[in-house]
Amino acid sequence: MSSTEMTLSEIRAKGLAALARELGPVGYVRFIQQFDAGRGDHTLERREWIQSLSAEELSKSFLDDRKSEH
């Protein structure tokens, strides 16, 4: 059956099955997560989180993050 003869639901199901088969479970989830915008207001949550920290805590958090990148 060609893709022009399939319903959108069938195309989606076949596409997701192909992704799972080719990428494996972890790769499949990582790929799908790229298209999820998430929930909430990241900017507001980050602002509230940063304001709740002292300058010393914020500095330590920043330095710890930089160390873990290396």
Q: What are the C-alpha distances in Å from 53 to residues 36, 40, 65, 66?
A: 29, 21, 15, 18
| Count of domains for the chain | 2
Helix boundaries (H) for 5-54: 8-33, 42-51
Does 19 lie in the same domain as 48?
Answer: no
* Owning domain of residue 70: 39-70
Q: 8-62 pLDDT, tens per residue?
A: 999 999 999 999 999 999 999 999 988 877 788 888 988 888 888 888 888 888 8
Does 67 lie in the same domain as 48?
Answer: yes
- Residue 19 CA to residue 30 CA, distance in Å, equals 11
Residue 27 CA, distance from chain mean position: 12
Residue 2: pLDDT band with limits 50, 70, 90: confident
Does 44 lie in the same domain as 29?
Answer: no
Q: What are the C-alpha distances in Å from 50 to residues 4, 8, 46, 64, 67?
A: 51, 44, 6, 15, 19
